Amino acid sequence: MNSTTAINSTAMPRDELTAAQVREMFELLAQHFDGVTQAQFAHDLAEKNRVILLTRDERLVGFSTLLASTTAFEDEIIHMIYSGDTIVAPEAWGTTTLSRAWISAVNGWRAELPEGRCFWLLLTSGFRTYRFLPVFWREFFPRFDRATPPEQQRLLNYLASEQFGLQFDSQRGLVRFQNPQRLRAGLNQIPAGRANDPHIAFFAARNPGHADGDELACLTELCPENLTAAGRRMTTPQTCAPHCDHR
């Protein structure tokens, strides 16, 4: 395997996936998570309407499924992007391909939506995915250095309850699925050297059952003004080598 080969990304409607691509997605997810079944994967995938694929030499090395939807919240029309199954193989952790593809795809989808604010509802049982938030977004919740404002908390509770019903515990901000997917051993533990990161320490404290598949519900507004400097760089053409410097 040539690890220097560039990783490519493709964003597409979910219903354009081929049977072979769906099979590859399931196999990649099952390699990294316990508790994955074909029936559950197929059900979850059918509920999404967008997908991002990462490939290297025509092999799938990562993907993210997303649901783009619109709802009414406190007399306001709100657009939501919900991230479903997401996995990046360890060989692709050292690239920004998923970040660039995700932000680019969401920006394109937002441009197709009617006027209204757009939010990302993220569930995460992995610290790497949670760490994605402070790297690329200025404001997101929950976070270690600021209490969640009441309006943001109400919106987060509303979206998570609408999406997950009684599986969402609004007091703890966690979603506990009846059949959780758990990162396999070696991926589900926070390395000692990362535990001092305040964002990761906060994630571990707020989601102590993350290794058992508990998911922390997070919210951030998707707009150019909310991108960090690193996030803004993800919207410009990539000029660095494939290994520039993900669940």
Chain segment 109-135, per-residue pLDDT in tens: 888 888 899 999 999 998 888 999 999
> Which strands, in side-by-side order, build the sheet including 215-221?
8-13, 50-56, 59-73, 76-88, 117-124, 215-221, 174-175, 168-169
pLDDT of residue 193: 76
Q: What is the DSSP letter of 243?
A: T
pLDDT grade, residue 78 (50/70/90)?
very high
Summarize the confidence of residues 49-75 as an average pLDDT: 93
Q: Which domains are delineated in the chain?
A: 8-233 (3.40.630.30)
pLDDT greater than 60 at residue 239 = no
Position 91 scores a pLDDT of 84
Q: Is the pLDDT of residue 40 over 70?
A: yes
pLDDT at 4 over 70: no
Write phi, then psi, for 115 (nearest 5 degrees).
-60, 140
Mean of the per-residue pLDDT values of the chain: 88
Which region among 47-56, 71-80, 189-198, 205-214 has the lowest average model confidence (pLDDT)?
A: 189-198
CA-CA-CA-CA torsion sign (170, 176, 177, 182): positive
pTM of the model: 0.86
CA angle 123, 135, 59 (to 5 degrees): 70
State the pLDDT confidence band at 183, using cuts at 50, 70 and 90.
confident
Q: What is the mean pLDDT of residues 16-33?
A: 94
Please report which confidence band the pLDDT of residue 204 belongs to, taking 50, 70 and 90 as the band edges.
very high
Which pLDDT value is given to residue 247?
33
Q: Is the pLDDT score of 238 beyond 80?
A: no
